[in-house]
């Protein structure tokens, strides 16, 4: 799905969500039901020159907490086993990896991270936050592991749990 521009209000919200200033933001890739950013898209090379492979980064505290909770359970192992045992899932996950790299490539060619996406793609499950961020950005049906992680987590993009929900208008 196309990025939406990051407004000053978005940058302020994400600074609150993450507790640090934002760097190299190119847009917002997914939003909460209230409009707050859920996934930020970041340049593959930060303004200070650092390569940054995680193009889609989960910012929403509710989503982040849900993925952290899942990572503390057996879900990582389950999803890893699914990936190694189900050819269709493995094929879709490899395609998700390529889609991720293609999305990022629009924002510059960074040789240091060429072929490196996020979350363990294309063959491992290492970070549910990164995989869920990709699923939220791309929409259902692109990243099978991210989709499953979101389905298993106790957070939904359609129900606002923000500490400071965005007020319309
Ligand atoms: Zn919200």
The predicted model scores a pTM of 0.96
In contact, 82 and 65? CB cutoff 8 Å = no
Q: What is the pLDDT of residue 39?
A: 98
CA distance 120 to 109: 20
Q: Report the separation in Å between the CA atom of 161 and the middle of ligand 1, taken as the mean of its atom positions.
A: 5
Q: Report the separation in Å between the CA atom of 1 and the middle of ligand 1, taken as the mean of its atom positions.
A: 19
**Over the range 60-86, which residues count as b (16 or more CB within 10 Å of their CB) and which as e?**
bbbbbebbeebeeeebbeebbebbeee
Domain boundaries, the chain: 8-152
Q: What is the pLDDT of residue 17?
A: 96
Q: What is the pLDDT of residue 164?
A: 85
Q: Residue 37 phi/psi, 5° resolution?
A: -60, 140
Q: Report the separation in Å between the CA atom of 40 and the middle of ligand 1, taken as the mean of its atom positions.
A: 15
Q: Report the separation in Å between the CA atom of 75 and the middle of ligand 1, taken as the mean of its atom positions.
A: 26
Q: What is the pLDDT of residue 168?
A: 62
Q: What is the pLDDT of residue 156?
A: 92
Per-residue pLDDT of the chain (169 residues; tens, 9 = 90+): 789 999 999 999 999 999 999 999 999 999 999 999 999 999 999 999 999 999 999 999 999 999 999 999 999 999 999 999 999 999 999 999 999 999 999 999 999 999 999 999 999 999 999 999 999 999 999 999 999 999 999 999 899 999 889 876 5
Q: Report the separation in Å between the CA atom of 164 and the middle of ligand 1, taken as the mean of its atom positions.
A: 7
Q: Report the separation in Å between the CA atom of 7 and the middle of ligand 1, taken as the mean of its atom positions.
A: 16
Sign of the dihedral defined by the CA atoms of residues 47, 51, 53, 54, in that order: negative
Sign of the dihedral defined by the CA atoms of residues 163, 28, 69, 53, in that order: negative
Q: What is the pLDDT of residue 117?
A: 98
Q: What is the pLDDT of residue 43?
A: 98
Q: Report the separation in Å between the CA atom of 114 and the middle of ligand 1, taken as the mean of its atom positions.
A: 34
Q: Report the separation in Å between the CA atom of 61 and the middle of ligand 1, taken as the mean of its atom positions.
A: 10
Sorted by sequence, the CB contacts under 8 Å of residue 41 that are 6+ apart come out as: 3, 25, 26, 27, 28, 29, 55, 56, 57, 103, 107, 137
Angstrom distances, CA of residue 91 to CA of 13, 84, 88, 103, 156: 36, 11, 5, 18, 26
């Amino acid at each position: 799905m196309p990025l939406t521009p990051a407004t000053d209000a978005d940058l302020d919200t994400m600074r609150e969500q993450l507790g640090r200033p934002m760097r190299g933001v190119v847009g917002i890739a997914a939003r909460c039901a209230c409009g707050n950013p859920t996934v930020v898209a970041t340049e593959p090379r930060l303004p200070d020159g650092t390569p940054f492979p995680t193009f889609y980064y989960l910012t929403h505290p509710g989503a982040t907490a849900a993925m952290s909770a899942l990572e503390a359970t057996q879900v990582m192992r389950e999803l890893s086993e699914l990936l190694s045992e189900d050819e269709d899932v493995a094929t879709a996950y490899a395609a998700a990896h390529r889609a991720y790299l293609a999305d990022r490539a629009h924002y510059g060619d960074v040789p240091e991270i060429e072929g490196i996406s996020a979350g363990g793609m294309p063959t491992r499950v290492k970070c549910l936050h990164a995989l869920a961020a990709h699923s939220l950005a791309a929409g259902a049906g692109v990243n099978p592991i991210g989709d499953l992680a979101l389905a298993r987590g106790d957070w939904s993009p359609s129900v606002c749990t923000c500490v400071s929900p965005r007020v319309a208008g």
